[in-house]
Structure 1
Amino acid sequence: MPEPLSPETFLTTCAVDIAVQELRPDYRALLIVAEGIDPEAASSPGDALIARAESRARALLADSPVDRLAHIAAWREAYRAFGAKPQRTRNSLEALTRRAEKGLPRINALTDIYNAISVLHQIPLGGEDLDLYEGPARLVRATGDEPFDTTADGETVIEHPEPGEVVWRDDVGVTCRRWNWRQGRRTGLSERTRAAFFILDVLAPATDEDLTAAGDALVEALSALGPEVRTSRRLIGTP
């Protein structure tokens, strides 16, 4: 196994492929690495954020159908552009907003925090264990041969993305299918995670200011997960 990359080198070498930029020139991502996480830290920050996120979702959906919310509508359009059916494979923001109206799941401290920030700021947001990555993260259009580890009927299975599908991957295989639809098991967050990697995705009409605000909220929440937490970030995908 190769030596893991330092957070600085990891962030510097993450990239968005030109084929994805051509598909959606308005796409940007804020990448955040958090180190020094205490796995024993209380999840109370996540509990409070989830309560706020659930209230936010109910307020949004009282005024608009979920598929008419501006950023969710933009992601539905992006999914159609690479051949996905948004009614069948909902982007993570739409799936969470729908679920938040009745109550978000509690998974673990890190996941609870980023799910809540995603709903509160209406930005797709995913998190993974940085120590389980092999090489940097790249957003590409799949060839269809890349392995993706997931579960079916409680068993681990290997799937493959559709050719042309937008996926995040590392040197081993796909880490997240359909841009921000479903994350793989191999790099998933757990109670043992000490270094986490987060991806915040935006399309127009969301702005860089919206992206920065969501990132700042995430960093603030993560700071409660131990006295040694430190973060670094990089914006990618801009022209």
Structure 2
Amino acid sequence: MFFHHADEIWEKFPSLRAAAIVVRGVSGAKKEAVDIDAMLADTAGRLRTAPESEWPSIQAWRQAYAAMGFKPTQYRCAAEALLRRYRKDGALPRFHPLVDVLNAESMNAGIPIAAFDVAHIADGITVRAAVGDEVHTTFKGESEHPVPGEIVFADAAGQAHSRRWVYRQGAASVVRDRSDVVLIVAEALHEDAMADVTALCARLRDRASELGLSVTEETLLTPENRQLEFAPAGVTV
């Protein structure tokens, strides 16, 4: 299996830097190991100093959305949406041990992080412009077709596992209690993206260890290194 960005994405967004990590044993994640309160407190302190809209990592995504023809305040990247909700509500909803940790890390870094159940991905994921016949399954169980040209996370079966790049994931590959092999992707576009994504990748490895998970494949994606290859679910690594 694989994860990569199409050449057209690198050409249009040359500042892109990303981390792709595969973790296994997710169904046995140690729920008691989820301790994100200190990180949330740190994030709250940063938000009191400057709202999320002023963070360089968020500003870079806003510029990217404007370049894609979307109104940045209508379609916010996942990290900005989480930060905005947390700033208003003062709490982070809990869903799953791994997802909760990833949401907290995403907010603290101001970098969108996606997590996909590998068992529900056909062959691999390419981040590319949509043709328009891809299918995106919403969390309400509805099927949508992305607008042609819209950036999606697409697999070989034509499933769009996200819409508008890092705006919204779909339900087809959402991480659930029974999920065992998960692909994690973090993407950044700002000036310090390489340093920040590298540091975030190290933190995610530590978090995975705390949860009792195994990191079996990982890479930092750059214009010189554009693809992660990994074993499918059900294969011992």
TM-score calculated relative to the size of structure 1: 0.86
CA contact (8 A) 2:19 2:220 kept: yes
Which residue of 2 is the match for residue 16 of structure 1? 5
**1:218 and 2:204 equivalent?**
yes
Which residue of 1 is the match for residue 94 of structure 2? 106
Distance in 1, matches of 2:33 and 2:145, equals 36
Q: CA deviation at 1:75?
A: 0.3
Which residue of 2 is the match for residue 169 of structure 1? 154
1:174-215: CA deviation from partner (whole Å, max 9, x where unpaired): 111111111111111001111111001011223322111111
Which residue of 2 is the match for residue 121 of structure 1? 109
Alignment of 1:144-223 (within 5 A): 144-151=132-139, 155-172=140-157, 173-223=159-209
**1:25 and 2:14 equivalent?**
yes
User: Tell me, what secondary structure is at the counterpart of 2:80?
Assistant: helix
Distance in 1, matches of 2:38 and 2:191, equals 23
1:116-144: CA deviation from partner (whole Å, max 9, x where unpaired): 11112221111111121111111101122
Distance in 1, matches of 2:199 and 2:129, equals 28
Distance in 2, matches of 1:108 and 1:225, equals 11
User: Tell me, what secondary structure is at the counterpart of 2:210?
Assistant: coil
Alignment of 1:87-98 (within 5 A): 87-98=73-84
**1:53 and 2:47 equivalent?**
no
Which residue of 2 is the match for residue 62 of structure 1? 48
Distance in 1, matches of 2:30 and 2:7, equals 41
Distance in 1, matches of 2:32 and 2:80, equals 25
How large is the Cα RMSD of the aligned pairs? Answer: 1.6
Q: Which amino acid counterpart does residue 135 of structure 2 have in structure 1?
A: P
Distance in 1, matches of 2:33 and 2:74, equals 32
Runs (5+) with no aligned partner, structure 2: 225-237
CA contact (8 A) 2:22 2:218 kept: yes
Q: Which amino acid counterpart does residue 92 of structure 1 have in structure 2?
A: A
User: Tell me, what secondary structure is at the counterpart of 1:180?
Assistant: coil
| Pair 1:194–1:187, CA change in 2 (3 A) | same
Which residue of 1 is the match for residue 233 of structure 2? none
Q: CA deviation at 1:229?
A: 2.1
Q: CA deviation at 1:40?
A: 4.0
Name the % identity.
30
Which residue of 1 is the match for residue 235 of structure 2? none
CA contact (8 A) 2:134 2:146 kept: yes
Distance in 1, matches of 2:148 and 2:69, equals 10
Q: Aligned pair count? A: 221
Which residue of 2 is the match for residue 36 of structure 1? 25
